Each structure stands twice: as structure tokens, then as C-alpha cells.
Structure 1
Amino acid sequence: MRVIFIAVLMLVLCTGCWDLKEINSLAIISLAGVDKDPESGDLLAYYQVINPTGLSTRQSAATKAAVYTFHFRDFSHGRFTEQTGTSMPRRFFTAHLQSYLISERYAREGILDLINFIELNPERRSSLIVFITDSPMHTVMNSFTPLDRVPGRFIRALSNQYKPNFSMSVYPIRFKDLAKDINLHTPTILPIIHYHGEKPSSNSDRVEEIDASEDGISFKVGAVLIHSRMVGRIDEQSKILFFIMNKKYRELTETVEIKGKHVDVTAKNLNVKRKWIKPASELSFQITGDLKILNNQQTSKMTVQNLHLIEEAFNRKLEERVLALDQMGKTKGWDMLGIQDNGGNEKTWRQTKVTIKVSSRMTTTGNTSTPYLEE
């Protein structure tokens, strides 16, 4: 009897799940975006809240949208959580936030205040991936996406296509990466989201169309950020090459020309080693990788000599492209090869001579060594 009394007493003293959150009382944020008014300096925040009934297979015509977008205006990041209570009938909840979008004009002004807000707030997730958008934020945040009805998941899935080829399968575009590299001279490269269309596809009929590229979201070019400020943009190939040379990415697709014919190859397991040549005014890069033929338009039989020609052509082209990337960066003042952060002089890094040596080997040629020819 005494044991039962003690047990009941202990239950009375228990507080229960004091931090329990009812799912129906939460506004679950899937995608967030932030812009900045260049005239007033006010911040414009956008939040996409998941609509559970919109994700259900059994839904009425009035609940087709998988998410609803709310937007707010204020002068400080910390004020938006309180503002959400003015129009969201549920509690603001960011634990399932997929991605974060930043407008290009805000990025060019500098996003140090946003990085500090994310890093210092324990309720925010610094592992969130970040994108720059060169399209109007209102347009991007109010458009349906194909194959995945939740835009936040759609955008994150785009970045996941690249993750397996990054070191430790981590795409270095998170808030924690921005914070870690903020004092480095080597730029940070973020993907730029672009919306193809003149107006948002905010009607659910958009997903019934077969042309998924029309009025859709994609990213190809990269935004160059130095010390948390966007200073320019680079094309997709240069973006991938930047990650390779800074030992963050391991794969590259290239087209070489052999006797007037195109050969598409993929280089895998790319490894980059750098070495300073004394005195420290010349930096040498050694690049190795395994080649795989994707498409061969040659009409001649695949021989050992022919394979060597492909290897040599790839080596030569990659060397030229790395030197072009280095020269472009030095012209613009962007240390694309990380010279200053790897032993180079901050004042004379532009005068550093860069030499490239690429050694590749063909490992996969396809199912046939002789191409099919027209009779």
C-alpha cells in the first residue's frame, strides 16, 4: 500500500511533457526567403507554411495548395517571429525548414546581419542550405514546383544531386559554412536560383502541364561572396572547377576534340595537391583523376593510342581552364585558388605564378571498342 501511495505521489509531482507541441497548433515552415528594400532598408521576410490537407491524396478543390506563403516587413530579423502571430493562426515553427533564399540585391549589400542572427539564435538551424535568387522573391515564393509539391523540398532536392561528389557528401552552402569562411580570402560560392517566367505560377493548374521547364525554378550559375558580401557571379563550369581546385568536389564532365570529332568524358575521383616552389612565388598544382567515356563521335577504332590521345586532350584542356579561372579571379580580385589562405602573401598574391599538371587515366570506355558506321 505504501508503494502505491509513493507512486501516486510521484505522479502528482511530475510536470509531464511541458514542451509538448501539438502538430495541429504549429505553422510548420518549409521554405524561408528574405529580401531588403534598398530605399527604406526594411527587411522583407517570406515564409512557406505546409498545408497538411494540401498534401493529402484526398483533397477538396479549396485545399489544393501544399503550402501557403506569408510575407512580413520590419527593420530587424528578430522581430519577425512576433509578427507571424498577426496573420498566422498557428505557432511559428522552423524545425523542419528545408532551405533559405536570399535576394541578390540583399546579398550584394552584405548579409553579415543575417548570418549573425542565424548563428546566435539557438532556435535557428545553422545547417540550413542557402541560395541566392536573381528573380523577384515574391515570384519565386509563390510558384508551384513539379515532382515535389513542397517548394522547399524541391529546392533542397536540386542541391542533393551534387552532394555525393562533394567531400564527405556535404555541399558547402550552409549558413555554418558562410560563418566559417567569413574571414577567409577564398570566396564562398552559392547557387543562384532563377525562375523561368514572367509571373508566378501560383495556380495549381501549373503542375498539370507537361513542360516542367516553363515557368519553373532551376539553378546553373553561382554567386561569388567574399566576407559575406556578393561581389559577382560565375558560370556553372567555373563553379564546379572552383570546388574541385579547393578540394571540395571530385567529378567533372568535359568535351574534348580528337581529330575533329567530339568525345564527352567524365573525370571521377579527382584529387588536387598543391605545393609551393621556393621561394614562395610559384604555386604548383598536381591533379589526378579517372576518366570515363560518355559519348564518342570518332569513326576510328578505340585503341591504346587513341585512349592516350583522349587523356592528353583532357589533361591539356583542364590545365587551360584552371589557368583561365586563376587569371579571371586575379583580374577581378577574387582568390579563386585560395592562394592567400594557403601560405600566399596577401599583398602580392596576384603576382603568384600558378602551374598546373594534370595526369588522368582512362578506366571505362563503354561496351564496344569499335563504333558503328554508316554504310
Structure 2
Amino acid sequence: MKAFLIGLILLVFCTGCWDMKEINALAIVSLAGVDKNPETGEYTAYYQVINPTGLSTRQGSSARAAVYTYNFKDFSLGRFTDRTSRVMPRKFFTAHLQSYIISERYARQGILDFINFIELNPERRANVVLYISDSPMNTIMNSFTPLDRVPGRFIRSLTNLVKPSFSMGTFPIRIKEMAKELHLHTPTVVPIVHYAGENPSSTTNRLEEIDVSKNGMKFGDGAVFIHARMVGRIDETSKTLYLVLNKKLMKYTETVKINGDYVDVEAQNVRVKRKWEKDKHTSLFALNIKADLRILNNQQKSKMTVQNLRQIETSFNQRLEERIESFERMGKEKGWDLLGIQDNGGNEMTWRQTKVNIHINSRMTAIGNTSTPYHLE
């Protein structure tokens, strides 16, 4: 009886699930986008809210859209949550946010205000992946996506596919990574999303064509950021090289030419080491690169021999060295320290005059199922 009374008294102090959120009462945001007018300073925020009934496979469902896109305009980022309560009949909820997309014109103005807003927000989503759009935000945020009806999940799935290629499973760029790299001289490269097509696929009928590349989002080039401001862009090849040389990407594909024929190889487990070499007259910055190679496609008609494998390794080394030299020149011409010389012991005033020594050592570890490709005499 005494134990019963004690238990009854304790129940009085139990509040129950006071912080429980009913899913039907939430406006679950999957994707968010921001634009900023450079002339007026006015922001436009886009939120894609998941429509549960649109995801249902039940026949006869009246709602077809998997998401609804809301947009709001204001001069302060902190007032958008309040604005959603005037239009959305559910509580604004961002805990399942997949990605942020920033317009290119906003990125070129600098997004330090956006980073601070995310970092200082009690419900911040700083681990969310960031993208830059070179297409109109209205087009990007009002388009259906193939194979996955939720655009935010579609974008995050594309990111997840390349995640194993990155060192320590790090995504290409998240808000918290950009915040950590704000004071570095080494630029931060953010993936650019582009919409292929003149008009958005705002209805599912636009996706009934088999060629989805005509109307859909794709990723390629990279936006170059220095101190949270976009200063330019680089192509997909340069973006890959940037990620490799800055120890973020450990696997990529290269094509070399051997005896007049093409060979596609995959560089795996790429390791990059940096060190300064002593010289009496100039500063020498050494890049030591090692990689394991695997043949993906071999168009040679000659038999695969040890000598031939050495040729592939040598050609890969030469090709990568040429790319790095061109990449380095481009960075110095634009004033971008893409190799991170200043952040690795270099001088802020003389880093452009620093000579870079490149040492590459690749090793063929896998050649495929056949030692000689099939061909007709």
C-alpha cells in the first residue's frame, strides 16, 4: 500500500510527452532556397513542404504534388518563420531539411549573413548540404524531379551517391564546413545546380518524356568562395581536381591515351601530402601524390603486359601533372590560392611566387577480367 501511494504521488510530477509533435500538425520542410535582390537588399525565401497525401500510392488520391512550394519576401531573414504562420495551416518544421540552395547573385554579394543566421538559430541545420543555383530560383524551386518525387530528397540522394568517394565520408560542402573555413585563404568550392530546359517541369506531365535531361536539374561546375563570398566559378574537371588536391576526394576517373588508343582508369585511395622544400633562392612547395589505379575501359589492341601497365601508370602521372600545373596557373592568375599554400605555411604576400614541385606515384592494382581486349583482325 505504501509503494502504491509513493507511485501515485510521483505521477503528479510527470508531465507526459509535453514536447511531442503530431506529424499531421507539421509543415515539414524538405528543401529551402534563398535569393537576395542586390539593389534593394530584399530576400526571397522558398520552402518546399512535403504533402503526405501526394506521396500516397493509393488510387483515387486527389492530391498529385508530393511537395508544395511557398515563397516569402522580407528584408530580414529572422522574420520568415513568422510569415509562414500566416499562410501555412501547420507548424513550420525544418528538422528534416535536406538541402539549402542559394541563388548565384546572392552568393556573389556574400552570404555571411545567411551563415550567421543558420549558426545562431536554436534549431539550426548547419549539417545540411549547400548548393548554388545558376538558374532562376523560381525555376529550381518549382520543378518536379524524376525517380524521386521529393526534390529535396532527390538532391540529397545525388549527394549520398558520391559520399563514399570523399575522405571520412564528408559531403562536398555543408554549412558548418563553410563556417569553419571562413577565415582561411584557401577557397571553398560549392557545387552548382543547373536546370536544363527553358521552363520548369511544374507538372508531372512534363516528366512523361523518356529523355529527362531536357527538363531537369543537374550538377557540374563549382562556385568558388573566399571569405563567404562567391568570386567566380570553375568547371567540373577543375572542381574535381580541387577536391583531390585539398584531400577531400579520394577517388575519380581519368582518361589517358596509350599507343593511339584511349584507356579509362579510376584513381582510388588518392593520398596527398604537402611539405616545404629548402632552396637558397626561392620557396618550394611540394605536392606528393600517390594513387591506386583500376582499369575501367581499355581500347588498346595490344596485349596487356607489365610494360603496358607501366605505360598507363606513366601516362596517368603525366596527365595529372599537366592538369595540376594548369590548375595552379589559373588560380594564381585569378588570385585564388586553390592549393592552400598560405594555409600550409606560405607567405600571404608572396604565395604567387611560390614554386610548386609535383611528385606523382601511381600503381596499377586492378586490370579487369581479361588481359587483352577483344578485336577483329
Which TM-score bucket, shorter chain as reference?
over 0.9
- Measure the CA separation in 1 of the matches of 2:242 and 2:171: 13
Residue 348 of structure 2 corresponds to 346
Q: Aligned pair 1:337/2:339, yes or no? A: yes
In 2: Cα distance, 1:16 partner to 1:292 partner: 58
Partner of 1:65, secondary structure, is coil
Separation (CA, whole Å) in 1 of partners of 2:177 and 2:309: 40
Give the 5 Å matches for 1:164-175. Answer: 164-175=164-175
Could you tell me how far 1:353 is from its partner in structure 2?
Answer: 0.1
The Cα shift of 1:11 comes to: 1.9
Q: Which residue of 1 aligns with 2:231?
A: 231
Q: Secondary structure at the match of 1:149?
A: coil
| Deviation readout 1:348-367 (Å, 9 max, x if unpaired) | 00000001111111111111
2:326 is aligned with 1:362:
no
TM-superposition CA deviations, 1:14-69 (whole Å, max 9, x none): 22222121111100000000001122110000000000001111154530100000
**Aligned pair in 2 of structure 1 residues 61, 22: CA closer, same or farther (>3 Å)?**
closer
Would you say the 8 A contact 2:46–2:141 is kept in 1?
yes
Q: Which residue of structure 2 lines up, in the alignment, with residue 178 of structure 1? A: 178
Paired position in structure 1 for 2:260: 260
Letter in 1 for 2:30: S
Matching residue of 1:73: 73
| Number of the residue aligned with 2:298 | 296
Native 8 Å contact 2:172 2:191 kept in 1: no
CA–CA distance in 1 between the matches of 2:161 and 2:14? 47
CA distance in 2, matches of 1:53, 1:59: 11
| Aligned-partner Cα distance in 1 for 2:321–2:121 | 44
- Partner of residue 44, structure 1: 44
Establish whether residue 124 from structure 1 lines up as the match of residue 143 from structure 2: no
SS at 1:206's partner residue? Answer: helix
User: C-alpha displacement at 1:252, in angstroms?
Assistant: 2.1
CA–CA separation in structure 1 for the residues paired with 2:232 and 2:59: 45
How many percent identity over aligned positions? 66
Letter in 2 for 1:230: M
Secondary structure at 1:192's aligned position in 2? strand
**Distance in 1 (alpha carbons) for counterparts of 2:47 and 2:373:** 54
Q: Answer with 312-321 or 247-256: which moved more.
A: 247-256
Say which is worse superposed, 301-310 or 347-356, in terms of deviation. Answer: 301-310
Q: Secondary structure of 2:233's match?
A: strand
Q: Which residue does the alignment assign to 2:85?
A: 85
Give the aligned residue type for 2:333.
T
Deviations 1:289-322 (A, max 9, x none): 1111111111111111111111111100101111
Partner of 1:155: 155
Whether the 8 Å CA contact 2:196–2:216 is kept in 1: the answer is yes
Distance, in Å, in 2 between the alignment partners of 1:61 and 1:192 is 36
The question of whether the paired residues in 2 share the 8 Å contact of 1:282 and 1:354 is answered with yes
Equivalent residue, structure 2, for 1:269: 269
Q: CA, structure 1 residues 308+5, in 2 after alignment: closer, same or farther (shift >3 Å)? A: same
- 1:208 alignment partner in structure 2: 208
Deviation readout 1:268-300 (Å, 9 max, x if unpaired):
111111110124711011111111111111111
Q: Which letter does structure 1 place at the counterpart of 2:266?
A: T
1:250 is matched with which residue? 250
Looking at structure 2, the residues matched to 318 and 289 of structure 1 have their Cα atoms a distance apart, in angstroms, of 11
Measure the CA separation in 2 of the matches of 1:159 and 1:12: 49
Partner of 2:322: 320
1:286 aligns with 2:256: no
RMSD: 1.2
Q: Does 1:141 align with 2:141?
A: yes
2:3 is matched by which residue type in structure 1? Answer: V
Structure 1: state its 5+ residue gaps: none
What does the per-residue CA deviation read over 1:86-109, in whole Å, with 9 as the maximum and x for residues that have no partner? Answer: 100000000000000000000000
CA distance in 2, matches of 1:354, 1:84: 53
1:65 corresponds to which letter in structure 2? A
4+ runs deviating over 6 angstroms: none
Task: Report if aligned partners of 2:53, 2:61 keep a CA contact under 8 Å in 1.
Answer: no
Offset at 1:6?
A: 3.3
Counterpart amino acid of residue 200 in structure 1: P
* Distance in structure 2 (CA, Å) of the matches to 1:60 and 1:101: 34
Query: Which one is further off, 66-75 or 211-220?
Result: 211-220
Structure 1 residue 247, shift from structure 2 partner: 1.0
Between the aligned partners of 1:59 and 1:38, the Cα distance in structure 2 is 47
The one-letter code of the counterpart of 1:80 is F
- In the alignment, the residues of structure 2 paired with residue 374 and residue 130 of structure 1 have an alpha-carbon distance, to the nearest angstrom, of 50
2:129 partner letter: I
- 1:53 touches 1:59 (CA, 8 Å); kept in 2? no
Written as runs of structure 1 = structure 2, the 5 A alignment for 1:184-199 is 184-199=184-199
SS in 2 for 1:86: coil
Conserved? CA contact 2:223–2:230, under 8 Å: yes
Distance 1:115 1:35 in 2: 14
